[in-house]
């Protein structure tokens, strides 16, 4: 996997920063991704992107302070209306690629890079789980009336196992132990592949189908901004 290009806002003069970043993002081809680094929460930029180009970009945080704020920003493949399936399946793919990238570094013995990428992966996946549990699952439960015996209960249980295996991968990278990383990755994928498939094929689409366009747009924007 090729490395995602980085745009460090801290290197751009304040007076032209916002315009320069927007111009660079506008130049992204569909499917292209950029890592944006900022010295503070880039809420002004993200709001501007959503207001001026409502369907053009997706974003997900990589790191949120206290020194740097880093976001992945991607130009969406098609400017179709937002859906939970579209946004969170993109986030699954983004996270899969980050994990693969961490292992590529570890296999080459590049441990500082492997650890940094494993930590980014952990931050990204834990945040993904957080927005599912705090925002999406309650919306699904509200929209379908399915609570106690439903899929969100199963998903929450699986999230516990997923987090444990991710912690193991980071520990393996810290200890420069590729065998341990591989063992923990096998544990992770033993749950995650099917978990993501169930979400993408059942849970996300059933939420999408039950909300009207305005409610759905509001829900996905809330997921993106959290």
Return the range that interacts with Fe ion (CB under 5 A); candidates 95-103, 124-132, 186-194, 216-224: 124-132
DSSP for 97-121 reads HHHHHHHHHHHTT-HHHHHHHHHHH
Return the range that interacts with Fe ion (CB under 5 A); candidates 102-110, 129-137, 168-176, 211-219: 129-137
According to DSSP, the β-strands at 33-38 and 6-8 are parallel
d(CA 198, CA 123): 22
Identify which of residues 120 and 199 has a Cβ nearer to Fe ion in the complex: 199
Which among 74, 75, 120 has a CA at the least distance from the CA of 95? Answer: 120
Nearest approach, Cβ of 152 to Fe ion (angstroms)? 9
The residue count for the chain: 226
Nearest approach, Cβ of 135 to Fe ion (angstroms)? 12
d(CA 16, CA 141): 45
d(CA 58, CA 31): 10
Q: How many CA atoms lie within 13 A of 52 on its CB side?
A: 11
User: Is residue 6 classed as helix, strand or coil in its secondary structure?
Assistant: strand
**x/- map, 75-114, Fe ion, by CB under 5 A:** ----------------------------------------
Nearest approach, Cβ of 82 to Fe ion (angstroms)? 16
d(CA 126, CA 86): 19
Identify which of residues 115 and 125 has a Cβ nearer to Fe ion in the complex: 125
Nearest approach, Cβ of 37 to Fe ion (angstroms)? 25
The two structure tokens encoding residue 8: 């460090």
Return the range that interacts with Fe ion (CB under 5 A); candidates 9-17, 49-57, 78-86, 131-139: 131-139
**x/- map, 179-218, Fe ion, by CB under 5 A:** --------------------x-------------------
Q: How many CB atoms lie within 10 A of CB 142?
A: 13
Judged by CB under 5 A, how many residues of this single chain contact Fe ion?
Answer: 2
Identify which of residues 44 and 157 has a Cβ nearer to Fe ion in the complex: 157
Nearest approach, Cβ of 57 to Fe ion (angstroms)? 20
User: Is residue 139 classed as helix, strand or coil in its secondary structure?
Assistant: helix
Residue 120 interacting with Fe ion (CB under 5 A): no
192 Cβ contact partners less than 8 Å away, ≥ 6 residues apart: 162, 165
Identify which of residues 184 and 196 has a Cβ nearer to Fe ion in the complex: 196
Nearest approach, Cβ of 125 to Fe ion (angstroms)? 9
Nearest approach, Cβ of 164 to Fe ion (angstroms)? 14
Point out which residues bind Fe ion (CB under 5 A): 132, 199
């Amino acid at each position: 996997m090729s490395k995602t290009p980085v745009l460090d806002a801290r290197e751009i003069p304040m007076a032209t920063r916002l315009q320069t970043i927007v111009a660079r993002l506008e130049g992204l081809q569909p499917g292209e991704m950029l890592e944006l680094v900022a010295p503070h929460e880039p809420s002004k930029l993200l709001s501007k992107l959503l207001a001026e180009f409502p369907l053009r970009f997706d974003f997900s945080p990589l790191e949120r302070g206290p020194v740097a704020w880093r976001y992945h920003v991607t130009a969406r493949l098609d400017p179709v209306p937002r859906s939970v399936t579209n946004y969170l399946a993109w986030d699954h793919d983004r996270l899969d690629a980050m994990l693969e990238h961490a292992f590529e570094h570890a296999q080459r013995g590049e441990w500082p890079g492997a650890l940094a990428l494993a930590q980014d992966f952990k931050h990204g996946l834990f945040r993904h789980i957080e927005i599912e549990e705090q925002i999406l699952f309650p919306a699904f439960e509200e929209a379908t009336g399915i609570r106690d015996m439903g899929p969100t209960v199963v998903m929450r249980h699986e999230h516990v196992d997923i987090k444990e295996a991710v912690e193991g991968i980071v520990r393996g990278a810290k200890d420069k132990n590729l065998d341990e990383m591989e063992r923990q990755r096998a544990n992770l994928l033993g749950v995650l592949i099917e978990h993501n498939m169930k979400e993408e094929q059942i849970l996300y689409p059933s939420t999408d189908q039950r909300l009207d366009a305005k409610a759905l747009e509001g829900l996905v924007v809330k997921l993106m901004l959290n």
